[in-house]
Every structure is written in structure tokens, then in C-alpha cells.
Amino acid sequence: MNRLAAALSLTAAFVAGCGATHLLRPALAAESITPQIIHTSEMEGDALGDANKVGYRSKTFMVADGATVSIQVGNVPKHMHPNTNEIQYILEGTGTIWFGDKEVTVKPGDLVIIPKGTAHGGTKPISGQVKAIAIKTPPQAPDDVKLLD
């Protein structure tokens, strides 16, 4: 009888866990993926959000369990993300950025892979403002920015 009760208890716990995971997952994941086509060449000025004091703008288009996708334009101070990897695809503009311990030139078509803990930022435009698609994985927490000198 004890074996039967134990087996039924384990089965009930497993089924309850599966059901709770299935029902709660959408709420916990905070997914906001919607089918969309983003015309990146039309994303200018206020369409990319409010500018900070140095003119940087960013607009997030997708948030999911594992990543966020946004478009960003302008300059950000040199910084790093201790817990977030970042991939940037340069859409427009040519400029230099801090990448690790050196400045490098980026131009449209470049793909910049920034592992967590890597210094980056400090865009200096050479031709137009640098506009990029930024993919961050996992999604960047608000406190996952460490400003550098």
C-alpha cells in the first residue's frame, strides 16, 4: 500500500509540476514577440526614443526569454556588461568605437560580437551617426552596465 501511495504521490506531483510550468511559463517569460517588419532605414529621431544628454537613442523591438533586439544610434560612454553578451550589426554611419582595450573603426555591414565583460562604446562618428541593431543575450538587466574610464 505504501508503494502505491508513493507512486501515486510522485505521479500527482509530476503532473502538477508540468501543468504549473505550462500555465505559468508565458507569464514568467515576459515574452513580447510579435510578427513585424521593421524598416530600419526609416527609424530616425524620436522614432528611436528620447535622446540622452549625449544624443544616444535606443528602441527595443523584441523581448524574449533569451534575448532582446533593439536599434540604437549615437554615442554611449565606454562601458561593459558583466552578465550580457551583445551583438551589433552596423546599419549606417562610420565611426570608431572602444572595443576591448583599443579603438576600432566600424562601418555599415560590420558585425560586432561583444562577449560579456568586454569594454565597448564611446562611438566617435566619422561619417554620419552610427546606427546599429543590437541583440543582447540574455536580456540585459537594468543594473548590468558598468561605466569605464
Q: Which residues of 64-91 are buried (b: 16+ CB within 10 A; e: fewer)?
A: eeebbbbbbbbbbebebbeebbbbbbbb
Residue 21 confidence (pLDDT):
39
pLDDT tens track for 69-122: 999 998 888 999 999 999 999 999 999 999 999 999 999 999 999 999 999 998
DSSP labels, 1-68:
-HHHHHHHHHHHHHHHHHHHHHHHHHHHHT---------GGG--GGGG----TT--EEEEEEE-SS-E
Q: What mean pLDDT value characterizes the chain?
A: 82
**What string of H, E and C letters represents the secondary structure of 96-124?**
EEEECCEEEEECCCCEEEECCCCCEEEEE
pLDDT tens track for 109-138: 999 999 999 999 988 899 999 999 999 999
The CA–CA distances, whole Å, from 66 to 18, 63, 76, 93, 149 equal: 21, 8, 24, 29, 30
Cα–chain center distance at 69: 5
Side chain identity, residue 36 = Q
The superfamily CATH assigns to domain 40-147 is Jelly Rolls (2.60.120.10)
The CA–CA distances, whole Å, from 93 to 12, 41, 142 equal: 59, 12, 27
